[in-house]
């Protein structure tokens, strides 16, 4: 299985897969076509963009990680901008803009999911028991990462709980 990040490859590994690294997104279509990899972990929107539904006929919906995207600027750099640009950055920042971007991302995800359905692909929905088993297996990775982050001085447990709470509340809205 092709995994884009160390964390995804670690999850694949503890779930029993043989993860591979070193391939860029545009290469995945050819990897699947040639049989070099049996699968990959991708959001549906990216599956649509890269036409992967033509090669990957089965899709397992297992939401077992949250991807956080952000654009950051330090205060010194922000304050060094001319007032009009600083105002633009401030107007295009914050929770409202983030929620709007997330809403659009979700719409893209649904378009991508619709695309694989249109192609006649099969979507596999793991049972609650299967999801629970996968999460339990992956828990060792979470604990390991939280421990690493805590050793660097971060309050990782608290931040992790807050992230889970935020993700859960947004998923139910």
> pLDDT tens across 120-156, in order?
999 999 999 998 888 888 888 889 999 999 999 999 9
For residue range 53-86, list pLDDT tens digits in order: 999 999 999 876 666 677 788 999 999 999 999 9
Q: What is the pTM of this model?
A: 0.78
Percentage of the residues of the chain whose pLDDT score is greater than 90? 61
Give domain status of residue 20, yes or no: no
Give domain status of residue 131, yes or no: yes
Please return the burial class of 53, using the count of CB atoms within 10 Å of its CB with bins 0-12, 13-18 and 19+: buried
Give the closest residue to 51 by CA, choosing from 33, 67, 75.
33
Q: What tokens appear for 149 in the block?
A: 């982050």
Report the length, in residues, of the chain: 173
Q: Is the pLDDT of residue 172 over 70?
A: no
Q: What is the C-alpha separation between 7 and 67, in angstroms, rounded?
A: 11
What is the total count of domains within the chain? 1
Give the range of the structural domain holding residue 157, as residue numbers without chain letter: 126-173
């Amino acid at each position: 299985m092709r995994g884009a990040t160390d964390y995804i490859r670690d999850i694949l590994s503890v779930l029993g897969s043989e993860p591979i690294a070193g391939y860029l997104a545009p290469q995945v279509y050819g990897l699947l076509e040639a049989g070099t990899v049996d699968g990959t972990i991708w959001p549906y929107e990216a599956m649509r963009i890269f036409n992967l539904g033509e090669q990957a006929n089965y899709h397992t919906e297992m939401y077992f990680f949250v991807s956080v995207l952000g654009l950051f600027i330090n205060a010194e750099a922000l304050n060094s901008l001319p007032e009009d640009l600083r105002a633009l950055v401030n107007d295009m920042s914050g929770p409202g803009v983030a929620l709007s971007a997330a809403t659009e991302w979700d719409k893209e995800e649904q378009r991508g999911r619709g695309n694989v359905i249109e192609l006649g692909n099969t979507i596999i929905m793991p049972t609650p028991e299967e999801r629970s088993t996968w999460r339990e297996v992956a828990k060792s990775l979470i604990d390991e990462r939280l421990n690493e982050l805590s050793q660097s001085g971060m309050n990782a447990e608290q931040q992790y709980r807050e992230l889970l709470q935020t993700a859960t509340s947004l998923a139910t809205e």
